[in-house]
Amino acid sequence: MMVNAAPETAEHDDGPSGAEPAVTGAAYGVLLMLGLVVGVVGAFEHEWYLFGTLPIGGVLAVLVLFAIPYTMGRLMRTRLAAGVVAVGWVIPSMILAGPRPEGDLAIAATLGGYIYLYGGLVAVALAVVLVPSTGGSWLLRQNIHIR
């Protein structure tokens, strides 16, 4: 009877290395910051009017609020990325829509404000839902397999 005494040469995948989770965490941190910046800028710039009655700033902001989370979700290939951008936008938008002790509002109860807030909520929700989640991040994908 012959016994194979050779050591096992099969490759073992013990999971991601130490750098991959850090890169993923940093990417999601950057996406959160992107959402925060879009929320602050949009809160102050949504009141642009065309011909005095058409709130073009609110409409453009809604289009941007769909495009950014959808694009980031597609690039990262996960709905979580789009959701992180959406949450980053919601936080400053809701804070700046609330009353302040001084009596000022960044997002007032005007047509432009309503389009920005409610249209923006619908836009980011649609962006998150429409992103196809295939799993795995484009940052962590390894295209070269050496065997």
Task: State pLDDT tens for residues 18-59.
Answer: 667 778 788 889 989 989 998 888 888 877 777 777 888 788
On the question of pLDDT at 144 being above 60, the answer is no
Least reliable range by pLDDT among 53-57, 95-99, 141-145: 141-145
Separation between Cα atoms, residue 91 and residue 35, nearest integer Å: 9
What pLDDT, on a 0 to 100 scale, did the predictor assign at position 75? Answer: 86
Q: What is the pTM of this model?
A: 0.71
CB 73 within 8 A of CB 82: yes
What pLDDT, on a 0 to 100 scale, did the predictor assign at position 138? Answer: 55
Burial of 92 (0-12, 13-18, 19+ CB in 10 A): buried
Separation between Cα atoms, residue 48 and residue 112, nearest integer Å: 8
Nearest alpha carbon to residue 105 among 63, 145, 46: 46
Which is more confident, 86 or 49? 86
Average pLDDT in the chain: 78
